[in-house]
Amino acid sequence: MSIKYSIIICTYNRASFLKETIDSILFHLTDTAKYELLIVDNNSTDQTADVVRQYAEVPVVRYIFEKNQGLSYARNRGIQEAQYPVIVFLDDDIEIHPRYLAVLDSQYQDSSVHIVGGKVLPFESQVPDWLPKKYFYLASVYDAGENRMIVPKLMGANHSFRKEVAVKVGGYNTGIGPLGDFKLGGDENEFLLRAQKKGYQLLYHPDLIVYHKIQNRFNKEFILTYSYNIGATEANIDYSHRPLFLNLRILKYRMENLLDKLQSTIAPTSDFVKVFRREHRKGYLNFIKKQSRK
């Protein structure tokens, strides 16, 4: 059975990265009968439209303009426009592994498989030693190991699903995204959480690989800011979907903050892991505090 894919790249003001990403996909995924490549321009003000115009003679490339600002709006538009039964979301700053479609084929031949994701590895760079592997996600790196398995989460830069999943689960939540003082993300986490509640499993395959151009994220200032924003994002999802978990987490984080204060009076910490975990808790609790004031 031949499976066809709608590869969707949502982009905003990333023209230089976008061209490299399109070139990588067209170079490595040579069987263009198997896919379409949808570029969803999320109201960019740079040269994004001009970049895509360069591929006007490439039949698989299709340009879509989405004026509503926000990644969830762009993703929903991509799903709406997709012509093929499997949706693949990739970031606009990746290089793709040559066997990407072959690995997808090997998984989606099984009709019981509905959602598949894989590794997001750094492109031509290494994660710094001061960031432990369990926290690589703070630099948008995801590597769950070398075994095919069911996982609780996948990364937005490399996830796919049958279009029927979106029909049954609903689209991406447009309330997830920039919100006041909080730079919230995680729309794919919220979408996949709803999918799991519907009974769908998230399958991870170690050979489904993209390489993320994230050298600018390998610094402590970025990690601290991102930790805070992830904390706020997780609070937003828990607030909407997991009230019991929310209350337990609030209690846990308040206790950890209290212990931190007690320890800091004895000896201030220089452990960077403790520092960014503190920022994560701060983002989480500040979001809840703001919600309680409404």
206: enclosing H helix or E strand = strand 202-212
Q: Give the pLDDT confidence score for residue 268 in this predicted structure.
A: 60
DSSP annotation of 114: -
Q: Give the pLDDT confidence score for residue 45 in this predicted structure.
A: 93
Cα 143 to Cα 107, 136, 147, 222: the distances in Å are 18, 8, 10, 20
- Other C-beta atoms closer than 10 Å to the C-beta of 84 total 16
Q: How far apart, in whole angstroms, are the C-alpha atoms of residue 151 and residue 159?
A: 12
pLDDT digits (tens, 9 = 90+) for 155-213: 999 999 999 999 999 999 887 764 444 466 788 999 999 999 999 999 999 999 999 99
Q: Give the pLDDT confidence score for residue 106 in this predicted structure.
A: 97
**Per-residue confidence in pLDDT tens, the chain, 294 aa:** 689 999 999 999 999 899 999 999 999 999 999 999 999 999 999 999 999 999 999 999 999 999 998 899 999 999 999 999 999 999 999 999 999 999 999 999 999 999 999 999 999 989 999 999 989 998 899 999 999 999 999 999 999 999 999 999 999 988 776 444 446 678 899 999 999 999 999 999 999 999 999 888 889 999 999 899 999 989 988 998 888 999 999 999 999 999 888 876 665 656 888 889 999 999 999 999 988 876
Of 159, 124, 160, 119, give the one whose Cα is nearest residue 141: 119
